[in-house]
Every structure is written in structure tokens, then in C-alpha cells.
């Protein structure tokens, strides 16, 4: 069976500048992929080519087995996309905008009405369903953009920095929404600058720089390989015996006291290993007041792959 | 599954018309049409003069403003139709859907043509009603005049789409469209009269057939002289030899048709190639 998103040797050049350089990527069905890279790495260029907003210089891209470069109409049929923060026609209301997009996609009017209610409720815009979009904030437009991408229940969802422009609550809500969507068969490609967001939401990570794919791996595997740094705060100063006992726990690579009540531990693996180590620490009698992963595995991988000075 | 292109064109037309109805431009052009018409109907009695007795003269005078209404229609409804999708980022919403750019173009063009034709039709309707009420008859060739006016309208609408597909800013496209037809080409037409070349290729010159068609027989080119200069009264004047050129109906229709087809094809090609 064809993978829902297939990119083969994709290149995009703007004169001398190479935005994408022979990029190949194959995303399996039902997987949520975080697409990471510094500014100008080629993330948005890839997404724009996949959504027929840009023409590739060479290479191929397929969505649900359809060639998006030569047959964009059929390729985009089961795809929902949010690219940058799109603007909406200021004269139209969210209901009319969604009706426009739904009708273009061939949805029946009853289905459009039903799905409009559902997606606007999902993005919490139901109260303003009949207000003109000219008065909407950037965050509201971003929510509406997500709503239109979900309107036709796509098999593939392509999101370009979906939490951009949202307030902290909005960001959490969008992440929760993506987590809910992951329970279905949907395939998601999501670019982001927020590494923690990607670690929290995505199953796999693709990191690109200067138009070249540097790594494509599962979050679980990367976590297991890179381990996690954890800051441990205790109620009382830890004794030498307790320190030795914690250091000897399985999964603890290194342990360092940085303040009287604060330790930093380098652990193997990801969240499961963190749980095992925390249980072990508590078993030694150390009174733990907090146990905070300081930096995610994705962040470690990202920083090791992207040279200093790139943003 | 995405519907046929024909159905998608219908959808684009519907929502473009809705945008026009909700926007101010449609209201503005309708008001202008009514104001211009009212000037002809209100001013003569207001200043104590009578309406033109000859129906041909009366409707000819009214239709003298046809050009500006056509230009305003093309400017309002065509000049930023394409560029605005790119400039205001609404293209990020529309283009990632299973719809061809040609279909979007077609829908937009049909919608703008419908409201522009409506505007011109309204103006003709007011002019015909007025001449019927005031002079009791409708001049011959009014139907032909309307047909020629539409030919001009379609040609300049297509050119306004071409500007919209080329320019990177809506404001530049609006300015270029308006001043090309309102100022630049009319200057070319006027220079032709002095420099003794017939500007048959100029679309604003060709547009004259919509009003000259009321003249029976249809006028032909004629040379004449005029005296000019500050000392004209004292005998130190200059004699200027001019030619009054008239557009030929058939050639003008070909010119307008050529502008329409070439501009439309180029606009579609440019829009297809344009990237976000």
C-alpha cells in the first residue's frame, strides 16, 4: 500500500539559492511527523510544494499516491492544509468561508453544515460563526484555518506551524486537538519551531537544514538513544549514602549535586525510564519535591545536528 | 471527491458575487451610475434649459460617460482580482484545495463580468428610459451601441486581469488600470489627431464606435484647420492642421476582440505560473 506522503528527490532553487536539495521523505499512514529545522531550512518550501503553492525545480511528491506536481487536483482531494496564517475574505463569515471551501471540495450542503458546526466547535469559534472575519485576531484566523483544514475529514493533514499566533491556552488546545486526531487513521505532517511541542505531540521527527534531510526517526527511538536530563529537587539535603544509592540506580547515567537541595541526573531512555528511576529514588527514602525533565531528547538531537548560529 | 471544474466555477462565481455584495465597490459603482444619470436629468431643468430635442443627441450625450463607467468597473472588479489573492494571503486558503487555478480565474472573471455588464446595462436602461420619456422615441442602433459597449467592457476587463496577474501590489494594479484607460490611451488618441496617425490600435479609440453608431451616416475621417496662440485676435496666430479620426466599426471590433483574447490568455498563463 502506498504511503500517504512520499517525497522523492525534491529540489527547489531560486536562482543560485537552493531551498530544497534532493529531499526524500516517506511518511507512513497514521503517523504524526514533526518537521523541524532552522529558519530557511526548507520546511515551508516543502509544505508549499506539497500543497501546490510552489513548483518544484525537480523531483516528485505524492499525496495518497497521486502526483501533486502534475495532478494537484486529485492529489489534494483528501488533504487538509494550513500554510502560514492564511487570510480570510473579510466580507465573509466563518460559516460562509467553510461553505465556500466545502462546496469546492464537493461536499453536500447538509454535510458542510454538519461539519461546520463540528469543526467550529472544535476550534471554539462557534460563537462567532456569523461574524465577518475582518474583525478576527490572528489567533482566531489560525483557529479558523485549522477548522477549514479539518472540514472534509482529510486522510492527510499538513500543518505549517499550527500554533503560531495562538495564545498559550490556544496552543494547548491545538495540541490536544492534534492528539485527538491521532486516535484516528489520519497522517499528519506538522512543521514547528517548538521542540517541546513536537516531542509532546508527534510520533516521528524529520529534521532538515539547508534543504537536506538530516534525520527521520521516531521520538521514542530518539529518546531512548539520547536519554533525558532531569532536575530533581528534594525536601532535605541528600546524604552521601542516598546519593550513592540514587547514582547506582539502573537507568542513571550520571548524577551531580548542583545545590543543597537540587540534583541533576542524566538518564537513559525516555518517559518509561524516567518513571522507573523516580520510583527507585523514592524507594531509597529520598523525599523528592519535584522531578523535571530539563531538556527533551529532540532538543538534544536538534542541537547536535544544527550548527551553532543558525536560527 | 472534488466536483467538475464547471461546478467549481459556479461556486467561485457565487462567492465572488457575495463578496461584491458585501463590499463597498458594487454599491459605489451603482451610486455613480445613478449620480451620472441624474446629472443629465436634473441639471437642465435646474438651470432653466431644455432637454436636447434630438433623441440621438440626447442619448449620445448621456453615453459620453459610458467610458468612465466601464473603466471604473474594470478597475473595481478586475484590477485586483488576481493580485489580491497573493498579496493578502487569501491564496493560502484557496489554492491548497483540489481546484485548478484556471477554474478560480474563470469564476472570478465571470463574476466581475456579470457585475460590470449589470452596471453598463443599468446605465443604458436609465438612458433609454429617459430618452423615451423626454423625446418619445428610442434612437436607432441603441442595441448595437450596447453590444459595442460590452465589447469594450470585456476587452478592458481582460486587460485589467492581465495587470492584476502581472503586478505585485493591488494598489499598483488599480492605478495602472485606471490611468491607462482614463489618461494614457486617451492622450495617445489625441496625439494621433495632431501627428496625423490614426490610432486604430488603441482600445479607447476603438470604444468610440459605441457612441458614433448613432450618427447616420456613420462618420468618416476629416481634416480641418484651427487657429491657436495667445495673439490669435491680433493676427499673429498659428494655424494648426488637424485630422478628426473616427474608428471603423469592423476594425474596432477586431481590435477589442484581439485585446480580449490575448489579455485573457496571458492572464491565465501568468496566474498559473505565479507562486505564493
- Residue A13 touches chain B, beta carbons under 8 Å: no
- Is B19 within 8 Å of A87 when comparing Cβ atoms? no
- Residue A52 touches chain B, beta carbons under 8 Å: yes
For residue A48, the chain B residue with the least C-alpha distance is: B276
ipTM of the complex in this document = 0.87
- Is B93 within 8 Å of A105 when comparing Cβ atoms? no
Please list every residue in chain A whose beta carbon sits closer than 8 Å to the beta carbon of residue B98: 72-77, 104-105
- CB neighbourhood size of A291 (10 A): 17
B82 contacts B170 by C-beta, under 8 angstroms:
no
Domain boundaries, chain A: 5-218, 227-303
CATH hierarchy code of domain A5-218: 3.40.50.300
Q: Which of B223, B218, B214, B217 is nearest to B247 (CA)?
A: B218
CATH 3.20.20.10 for the A227-303 domain, yes or no: no
Residue A263, phi then psi, degrees to nearest 5: -120, 155
Say if residue A115's pLDDT is above 60: yes
DSSP secondary structure letter of residue B181? I
> What pLDDT was estimated at residue A194?
86
Model confidence pLDDT, tens digit, residues B163-202 = 999 999 999 999 999 999 999 999 988 888 788 889 999 9
Interface test mutation site (partner B, options A45, A52, A66, max chain B beta carbons within 10 A): A52
- At A166, is the pLDDT very low, low, confident or very high (cuts 50, 70, 90)? confident
Q: In what order do the strands lie in the sheet with A17-27?
A: A17-27, A5-14, A58-63, A66-67
Q: Which of B183, B251, B174 is nearest to B218 (CA)?
A: B251
C-alpha cell at A5: 506522503
Average pLDDT over residues A210-233: 86
Model confidence pLDDT, tens digit, residues B77-122 = 999 999 999 999 999 999 999 999 999 999 999 999 999 999 999 9
Amino acid at each position: 500500500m502506498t504511503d500517504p506522503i512520499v517525497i522523492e528527490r525534491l529540489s527547489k532553487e531560486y536562482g543560485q539559492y537552493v531551498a530544497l536539495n534532493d529531499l526524500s521523505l516517506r511518511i507512513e499512514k497514521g503517523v504524526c511527523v514533526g518537521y523541524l529545522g532552522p529558519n530557511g531550512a526548507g520546511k515551508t518550501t516543502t509544505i508549499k510544494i506539497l500543497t501546490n503553492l510552489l513548483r518544484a525545480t525537480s523531483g516528485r511528491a505524492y499525496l495518497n499516491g497521486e502526483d501533486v506536481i502534475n495532478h494537484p487536483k486529485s492529489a489534494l482531494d483528501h488533504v487538509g492544509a494550513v500554510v502560514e496564517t492564511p487570510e480570510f475574505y473579510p466580507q465573509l463569515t466563518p460559516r460562509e468561508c467553510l461553505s465556500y471551501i466545502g462546496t469546492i471540495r464537493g461536499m453536500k450542503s447538509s454535510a458542510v453544515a454538519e461539519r461546520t458546526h463540528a469543526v467550529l466547535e472544535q476550534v471554539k469559534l462557534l460563537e462567532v460563526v456569523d461574524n465577518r472575519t475582518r474583525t478576527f485576531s490572528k489567533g482566531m484566523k489560525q483557529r479558523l484555518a485549522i477548522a477549514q483544514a479539518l472540514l472534509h475529514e482529510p486522510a492527510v493533514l499538513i500543518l505549517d506551524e499550527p500554533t503560531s499566533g495562538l495564545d498559550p491556552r490556544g496552543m494547548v488546545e491545538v495540541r490536544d486537538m492534534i492528539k485527538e486526531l491521532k486516535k484516528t487513521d489520519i497522517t499528519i505532517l506538522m512543521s514547528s519551531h517548538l521542540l517541546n511541542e513536537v516531542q509532546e505531540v508527534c510520533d516521528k521527527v524529520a529534521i532538515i537544514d539547508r534543504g537536506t534531510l538530516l534525520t527521520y526517526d521516531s521520538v521514542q527511538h530518539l529518546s531512548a538513544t539520547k536519554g533525558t536530563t532531569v532536575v530533581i529537587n528534594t525536601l532535605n539535603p541528600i546524604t552521601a549514602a542516598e546519593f550513592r544509592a540514587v547514582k547506582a540506580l539502573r537507568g542513571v547515567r550520571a548524577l551531580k549535586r548542583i545545590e543543597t537541595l537540587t540534583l541533576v541526573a542524566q538518564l537513559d531512555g525516555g518517559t518509561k525510564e524516567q518513571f522507573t528511576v523516580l520510583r527507585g529514588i523514592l524507594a531509597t527514602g529520598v523525599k523528592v519535591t519535584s522531578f523535571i525533565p530539563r531538556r527533551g531528547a529532540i532538543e538534544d538531537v536538534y542541537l547536535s545536528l544544527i550548527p551553532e548560529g543558525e536560527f | 471527491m472534488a466536483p467538475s471544474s464547471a461546478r467549481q466555477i459556479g461556486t467561485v462565481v457565487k462567492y465572488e458575487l457575495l463578496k461584491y455584495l458585501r463590499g463597498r465597490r458594487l454599491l459605489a459603482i451603482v451610486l455613480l451610475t445613478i449620480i451620472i444619470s441624474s446629472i443629465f436629468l436634473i441639471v437642465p431643468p435646474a438651470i432653466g434649459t431644455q432637454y436636447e430635442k434630438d433623441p440621438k443627441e440626447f442619448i449620445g450625450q448621456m453615453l459620453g460617460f459610458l467610458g468612465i463607467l466601464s473603466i471604473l468597473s474594470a478597475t473595481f472588479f478586475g484590477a485586483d482580482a488576481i493580485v489580491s489573492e497573493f498579496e493578502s494571503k487569501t491564496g493560502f486558503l484557496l489554492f491548497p484545495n483540489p481546484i485548478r487555478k484556471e477554474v478560480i480565474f474563470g469564476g472570478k472573471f465571470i463574476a466581475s463580468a456579470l457585475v460590470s455588464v449589470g452596471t453598463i446595462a443599468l446605465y443604458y436602461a436609465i438612458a433609454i428610459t429617459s430618452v423615451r420619456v423626454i423625446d418619445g422615441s428610442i434612437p436607432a442602433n441603441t442595441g448595437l451601441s450596447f453590444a459595442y459597449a460590452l465589447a469594450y467592457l470585456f476587452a478592458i476587463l481582460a486587460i485589467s486581469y492581465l495587470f492584476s496577474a502581472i503586478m505585485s501590489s493591488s494598489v499598483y494594479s488599480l492605478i495602472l488600470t485606471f490611468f491607462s484607460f482614463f489618461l494614457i490611451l486617451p492622450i495617445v488618441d489625441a496625439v494621433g489627431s495632431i501627428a496625423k496617425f490614426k490610432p486604430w490600435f488603441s482600445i479607447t479609440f476603438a470604444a468610440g464606435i459605441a457612441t458614433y453608431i448613432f450618427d447616420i451616416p456613420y462618420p468618416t475621417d476629416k481634416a480641418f484647420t484651427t487657429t491657436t496662440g495667445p495673439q490669435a485676435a491680433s493676427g499673429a496666430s498659428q494655424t494648426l492642421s488637424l485630422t478628426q479620426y473616427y474608428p471603423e466599426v469592423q476594425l474596432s471590433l477586431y481590435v477589442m476582440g484581439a485585446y480580449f483574447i490575448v489579455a485573457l490568455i496571458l492572464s491565465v498563463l501568468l496566474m498559473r505560473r505565479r507562486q505564493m
